[in-house]
Amino acid sequence: MAAGRRSLLPLLLRWGPGAQGLGPGAPGLGAAPRRHRHKEKWAATAPRIPATRLALHHFDTNYSLQLRERWPAVRASLLCEQKYGALVNNFACADHVAQELELHNATDFVSEAAKKAQSLLQGSAVEAEKGESTSQEGPGGGRTVTQAGTSPLLPAPISSNIKCYTFPRGDITRFCPAWPDALGLLSYYLMDAASLLPVLALNVQPDDFVLDLCAAPGGKTLALLQTGACGHLAANDVSISRTKRLYQILNSYVPKNVRETVSVTSYDGRDWAELEGGTFHKVLVDVPCTTDRHSVMETDNNIFHRRRTKERQMLPMLQLQLLMAGILATKPGGDVVYSTCSLSPLQNEYVIERAIEIAETQFNITTHAEDLSHFRTLFQDTFSFSSDCRLGELVLPHLTANFGPMYFCKLRRA
């Protein structure tokens, strides 16, 4: 195990499963039960419960307490067909793609949000002019000043070349498969449209050095390239098989001259700070998680399989280690966006809070979570957001807008 990880482990042990290190014979826990002479053949006698059912039972137990009256609707959405967005490939020679999608009643939700941001900013400027502090003479010749009311947080402008089309709320139309252009590049990439929000939150600027720490299968990496702003993009994933999928995405959507600017690696992301610490302006940490929608719908590669119980219990520790590596890989003044496709606070806000604490106390690095509430204002026509996140934003699946779940939070390194 790398030295950098070793120093973190004592601080992270609280994230382990249950009472870690406390065996059945530990003090205060009573005597250990006597072992039977012959083990029962559980594989032959115990009923095999599908991983999807185990996942749903786990979510019913936990998310019903977290989401309360909203859980039945979210639960139903998780069990229904997911909606997709069509991320337009700016590298493809297919100028008619947007027109084709619009003919089918799809709209570019990113450009719509940008228009809304511009409108809100202009409206706020007008209100500021009307409500500027007015002064009038008081009874004694003095001046009485009336301040304008405090305006709500203004949305940041969306300055992105990303174009992603979605069908309106309640419209469950499916997109047709993408078609290749004359050079063989596919016209658009189908993905959960909520997956673009972490990329938009990262707000890549021209010539930024960008790291996608857990890049496979490649949707967010492709979205980062669509910005046209990456001075250099490092796309890493520990899984060699998943990295092959990332290569396939790049080969299908990105021309060779652009692919050559992308560095694809298969390192353990937890060790990245030791490889290139303090190097990047922007870091995306889209961590492995319980992938809630997949877990209730698909048996293959389901983390709720009984043989993966410990792996699942250790997820928050892994997520914390990856986020810490992302923070350490960022330049002072740089940004880290952390994201999951889980509803679990243990994998979301709690990981953020613990990372901020460890960065400060163990590495003398000050980080703070940015306010992303303007995303709710800008994208409320497309997504359903939770209003209960202490840090970051959470997209909730909804039957009329069945995207997500997607949690994302932006940290600024001082």
How do the residues of the chain divide into helix, strand and coil, expressed in percent and rounded to 5?
40, 20, 40
Q: Is residue 236 within 8 Å of residue 213, measured between CB atoms?
A: yes
Could you tell me which of 407, 323, 406, 408 has the C-alpha nearest to residue 367? 323
Residue 341 among the catalytic residues: yes
C-alpha 384/C-alpha 67 separation (Å) is: 13
Vertex 231: Cα angle to 257 and 278 (nearest 5): 135
**Structure tokens given for 375:** 């995303």
Three-state secondary structure call for residue 38: coil
* CA 73 to the chain's CA centroid: 22
The catalytically annotated residue of 164, 289, 341, 409 is 341
Residues 6+ positions from 45 with CB-CB distance below 8 Å = none
Q: Is residue 265 within 8 Å of residue 239, measured between CB atoms?
A: no
Which burial class, exposed, middle or buried, applies to 307 when counting CB atoms under 10 A from its CB (0-12, 13-18, 19+)?
Answer: exposed
The set of catalytic residues is: 341
